[in-house]
Chains A and B, each alone.
Chain A
Amino acid sequence: QKEVEQDPGPLSVPEGAIVSLNCTYSNSAFQYFMWYRQYSRKGPELLMYTYSSGNKEDGRFTAQVDKSSKYISLFIRDSQPSDSATYLCAMSATIQGAQKLVFGQGTRLTINP
C-alpha cells in the first residue's frame, strides 16, 4: 500500500464546473500538505500549502485537510481551460530527525471549453 494515494484520472470536466481533487494518506505524522500543479513539459509549481487540519482559500482554489480522516482535497471553482494540468498532492513530516516528503501519483485534469 502506498503512503499517499491519489486517483490518477484522467478527469475531464466542462468549463465553469467545480473540480474536486483528493488524496488519502496512511502516515499520521504528516503535518504539512501541499498541492502542486504541473503543466505539460514543465516542472511542478507549488499551488497551495496548508499546515495541519483546516481550509485555506486562494482565489478560485480551496485546499482542505482532514487529519482525522487522513484525507486532503483541492477544490477549483469556476474552472478554466488554463487549469488543465496534472495536480499532485504532497505531504511532509519530520520523522526520526529527517524530513520525509511524499508525492501522490498526480491527477491529470482537462477543462473543456
Chain B
Amino acid sequence: KAGVTQTPRYLIKTRGQQVTLSCSPISGHRSVSWYQQTPGQGLQFLFEYFSETQRNKGNFPGRFSGRQFSNSRSEMNVSTLELGDSALYLCASSWTSGAPHLNTGELFFGEGSRLTVL
C-alpha cells in the first residue's frame, strides 16, 4: 500500500512569490491535514480537509490556503511568501469518519516539502 506522497520535496522561492504544494493521501483515507514544522515552533496545524471541505483550521494568516479534490488529493498554497514561511510542510492522511467522536487522531505523514524563502 503506497504511503502519503508529497511533491515537490524541496523548493526555493523568493519573498513575494507564491507556492503550491501537493499531497496524495493513502488510498481510502478521506482526511488530509497540513502542518508546518520549524525548529522553534515545532509542528503547527494549518488545516484539515475531509470530503473536499475544510473541517478544521489553525491560526495561520489568510495567505495560507488549501483545497481537496474529489479523489482526496490535496493542495496547499502560500501567497506573498515571507522569510518566516521557510519550513518543512507536512501532509498527513487518516482514516476518519464524518463523526468526530469516532476519530482517534492517528495520522500517516508524508516526507514533507521543504520550502526555503530567500
Contact = CB atoms under 8 A, between A and B. Distances in A.
Contact of B56 (A32, A49, A98, A105): A98
B42 A98 contact: no
B109 A45 contact: yes
Interface of A: 32, 34, 36, 41-46, 49, 51, 88, 90-92, 94, 97-99, 101, 103-106
Interface residues of B: mostly helix, strand, loop or mixed?
Answer: mixed
B55 A98 contact: yes
B109 A101 contact: no
A113 to B, nearest CB: 26
A9 B112 CA distance: 23
B109 A44 contact: yes
B52 to A, nearest CB: 17
For A36, A44, A106, which residue has the most chain B Cβ atoms within 10 angstroms?
A: A44
A43 B106 contact: no
B45 interface: yes
Q: Sorted from nearest, which 8 A-B pairs have the closest CB atoms?
A: A92-B105, A43-B109, A103-B43, A105-B42, A101-B105, A94-B101, A99-B100, A32-B104
B100 A98 contact: yes
Size class of the B contact interface (CB-based, 8 Å): 20 to 34
A43 B111 CA distance: 4
Contacts of B111: 41-43
A44 B90 contact: yes
Given A42-B111, A43-B109, A98-B55, A88 B104 contact: no
Contacts of B45: 101
Contacts of A106: 42-43
Contacts of B107: 44, 46, 90, 101
Contacts of B106: 32, 34, 46, 49
A95 to B, nearest CB: 9
Given A98-B55, A98-B56, A105-B42, A46 B100 contact: no
Nearest to B104: A32
A42 B109 CA distance: 9
B103 interface: yes
B105 A43 contact: no
15 contacts: A36-B109, A42-B112, A43-B92, A43-B109, A43-B110, A45-B109, A49-B106, A51-B104, A91-B105, A94-B100, A99-B56, A101-B33, A101-B107, A103-B43, A105-B42
